[in-house]
Amino acid sequence: MNLWRDIKGTLQAYAVTFGYLFRKPTTIQYPEEKRTPAPRYRARMVLTRDPDGRERCVACHLCSAACPVDCISMQAAEAPDGRRYAAWFRINFARCIFCGLCAEACPTLAIQMSPEYEICKRDPLSLVYEKEDLLIDGGGKDSDYDFYRHAGIGVANRRGGNADEYGPVDPGALVP
């Protein structure tokens, strides 16, 4: 009967909620207990170095162009060997929405998202990170990758003419 079904349905709900009362809550008690985010978690960005320990970033401005909230700014400069680098590099984490578009845009894998999510500060100005704060020692996720080995520095020497360079990629090799 309809009424019977309704009553049963209502009472069952009560039983379920009562049962849940004795289950362990799934809440993580944050400051004491911390969650380990997945390695690919998108939190604060870092600037990585190539295998030789040099800065990967070539100050191409692609990240800053990709950023939807315009929170990356930098000044490009050029080393004597023609290698470009950022004279200063600044990310305003008070504005960043951690969308990861900068990391996707970066051709050198210099800027990468890291799982470090605890960057809450009382003073918003202290959330403006300079290059020194952003640079880390390792190569991040793809630590063997070196942009210059592939592309070369075509200013002081001809492309492909540098000593530590793999030759240009042969596109034909990719054809099955």
Partner 1 sequence: MTELLITATLILVKLILIFAVVLSLAAYMVLAERKILGRMQLRYGPNRVGPFGLCQPLADVIKLLTKEDLVPARADRVMFLIAPGMASLIALLSFAVVPFSPPVTLFGREIPMVVCDLNIGLLYFLGLSSLAVYSIALGGWASNSKYALLGAIRGLAQLISYELSMGLAVVPVVLSAKSFSLTDIVLSQADWPNMVRHPVAFVIFMISVMAESKRTPFDLPEGENEIVAGYHTEYSGMRFGLFFVGEYINVIILGAMVTVLFLGGWHGPLLPPIVWFALKVLAVAFCFIWTRGTLPRLRYDQLMHFGWKFLIPVALANVLVTGAVMLAIGS
Q: Which residues make up the interface to ligand SF4 (CB under 6 A)? A: 57-63, 66-69, 71-72, 74, 91, 96-102, 105-106, 108, 110-111
Q: Which does 36 bind (CB under 5 to 8 A by kind): partner 1, ligand SF4, none?
A: none
Which helix (DSSP H) or strand (DSSP E) does residue 8 occupy?
Answer: helix 2-20
- C-alpha–C-alpha distance, residues 148 and 141, integer Å: 17
Q: How far is the CB of 2 from ligand SF4 (least distance, A)?
A: 55
CB of 23 to ligand SF4, least distance (A): 37
Of 25 and 53, nearer to partner 1 (C-beta) is 25
Q: Would you state the structure tokens that stand for residue 111, as one six-digit string?
A: 């800027």
| Structural tokens at position 5 | 């079904």
* Binder of partner 1 out of 5, 25, 144, 174 (CB under 8 A): 25
- For residue 174, the one-letter residue type is L
Q: Which of partner 1, ligand SF4, none lies near 66, with the C-beta cut-off 5 to 8 A by kind? A: ligand SF4
- The answer for 163, left when phi > 0, alpha when psi is -120 to 50, beta otherwise, is alpha
